[in-house]
Amino acid sequence: MPERPTHLASVCVFCGSSMGGKPVFQQVAHELGQALAAENLRLVYGGGGVGLMGTTARAAHEAGGQVLGIMPDFLRAKERLLDEVETVVVETMHERKAMMYDASEAFVVLPGGIGTLEEAIELMSWRRLNLHLKPIWFVNTEGFWDALIELFHNNVSTGMTPDWFLETYEVVDDVPALMASMKAWFDR
């Protein structure tokens, strides 16, 4: 059985490689990068310099925080490496996700597209299978994740997923609530 992490040093953030259609998404990504740096927490992310990924990483870096990007080689041109931060280039998406997972004690999911959704679902599946006990937060900016959270509840209510699954993640509305929840989780 995996062990519950007791110390928080690195936070993996999954988010969009695009900005999305609402300026508030970029604002939240920027605020999160700054907050992680202010708390001396290393940001682990997908390595890109574009979209919400790039916004979060730049904000953390500019605020004096540590940043680790992990980028598959085939995405280098599309997601453009952020040269200012430490970046590891790997061969596959599977390697990327495994390294991001191994390098982090907690996970945050900001708004994002199908890639972000895939990363979050795999992480949730691993948690459902008891492959990890690391905390997971969804930052539900303007209700972005409402449909996904509703789907999780539907899976439980239809008996496809056990009730305890709903306790494996937290949903917060903004970065201050996220940071308070993280502190509370690791102070338990």
Residue scoring higher pLDDT (81 or 110): 110
Is residue 84 pLDDT above 90, yes or no?
A: no
Where are the chain's structural domains? 13-178
Residue 137: what pLDDT?
A: 98
pLDDT value at position 168? 94
| SS3 state at 149 | helix
pTM of the model: 0.95
The rounded distance, in Å, linking the Cα atoms of 107 and 11 is 6
Backbone φ and ψ of 88, nearest 5°: -105, 130
The torsion angle over the Cα atoms of residues 151, 152, 155 and 156, rounded to 10 degrees, is: -140
For domain 13-178, give its CATH number from 1.20.1070.10, 3.40.50.450, 3.40.710.10, 3.40.50.2000.
Answer: 3.40.50.450
Two structure tokens written together for 84: 């200012």
Q: Which amino acid is at 29?
A: A
Higher pLDDT, 93 or 10: 10
